[in-house]
């Protein structure tokens, strides 16, 4: 698979000769305990940290900084939702007709159409996150980096937000999400997961492959999501054949 961005032999913070490739049009989930390096890695990928000769972008796809969007701390420069979303494409010099179409489309995709005429201060935290995301992807960047975006979301909000990100991936945006929790992983079926510990990749693969190694995850301080933890325990006693993420599916299998 073609690499959109590559980090080679990074020597920075907890990283010692650290290397990673981010495939084009992938959904990457980076997790780990505190001080594992995941937030620093996202800043490196975003070009926010000077690591000369250690990071390589596919120059045919990422040609300048506007092709990369980074979401860390959420802050707003404008009071209204509409101005917040419009401003990035206004700076590109697009006419009002094109801008209105882009705003309408991204607002529909992120379910914030009803928020367009509101003031930022009147939004809840999840609404603010979606509005901020809209402002970062309205011009269709090639790489989207999100540092622990679901920290204060409910389980239902996490599930919906991950579905929004997957929808953006189908638009051709490569997604990289970091998190100190594994709770969101269960909603990213198509993701590639990297588990970091002290600046090293200690596990990587698809969701079920990584979450099956509960002893490793527990050792580095990560707790399995409830349904995964329950499945692992029941699988140990041969009560279920594999990890089941659906409570209803679990009940039906045990009943049979």
Phi, psi of 201 (to 5 degrees): -80, 115
CB 137 within 8 A of CB 149: no
Instruction: Give residue 179's pLDDT.
Output: 92
Instruction: Give residue 8's pLDDT.
Output: 95
The pLDDT profile of the chain, 256 residues, written as one tens digit per residue, is 799 999 999 999 999 999 999 999 999 999 998 889 999 999 999 999 988 889 999 999 998 888 999 999 899 999 999 999 999 999 888 889 999 999 999 999 999 999 999 999 999 999 999 999 999 999 999 999 999 999 889 888 998 999 999 999 999 999 999 998 888 888 887 799 999 999 999 999 998 888 888 889 989 989 888 777 777 778 777 877 776 666 666 777 777 7
Nearest Cα to 178, choosing from 33, 23, 24, 61?
A: 33
What is the domain partition of the chain in residue ranges?
A: 3-221, 225-256
CA angle 57, 63, 65 (to 5 degrees): 90
> What's the topology of domain 3-221?
Rossmann fold (3.40.50)
């Amino acid at each position: 698979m073609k690499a959109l961005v590559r980090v080679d032999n990074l020597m920075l913070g907890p990283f010692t000769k650290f290397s990673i490739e981010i495939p084009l049009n992938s959904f990457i989930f980076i997790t780990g305990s505190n001080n594992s390096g995941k937030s620093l890695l996202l800043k490196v990928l975003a070009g926010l940290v000077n690591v000369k000769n250690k990071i390589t972008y596919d120059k045919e796809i990422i040609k300048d900084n506007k092709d990369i969007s980074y979401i860390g701390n959420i802050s707003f420069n404008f009071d209204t939702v509409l101005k917040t979303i419009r401003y990035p494409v206004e700076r590109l010099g697009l006419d009002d007709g094109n801008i209105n179409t882009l705003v309408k489309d991204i607002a529909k995709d992120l379910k914030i159409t009803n928020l367009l005429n509101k003031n930022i201060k009147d939004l809840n935290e999840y609404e603010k996150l979606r509005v901020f995301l809209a402002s970062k992807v309205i011009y269709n960047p090639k790489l989207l980096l999100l540092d622990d975006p679901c920290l204060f979301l409910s389980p239902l909000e996490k599930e919906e937000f991950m579905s929004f990100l997957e929808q953006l991936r189908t638009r051709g945006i490569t997604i990289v999400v970091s998190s100190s929790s594994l709770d969101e992983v269960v909603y990213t079926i198509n993701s590639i997961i990297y588990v970091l510990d002290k600046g090293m990749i200690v596990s990587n693969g698809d969701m079920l492959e990584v979450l099956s190694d509960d002893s490793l995850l527990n050792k580095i301080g990560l707790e399995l999501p409830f349904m995964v933890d329950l499945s692992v325990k029941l699988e140990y006693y041969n009560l279920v054949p594999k990890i089941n993420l659906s409570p209803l599916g679990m009940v039906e299998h045990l009943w049979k």
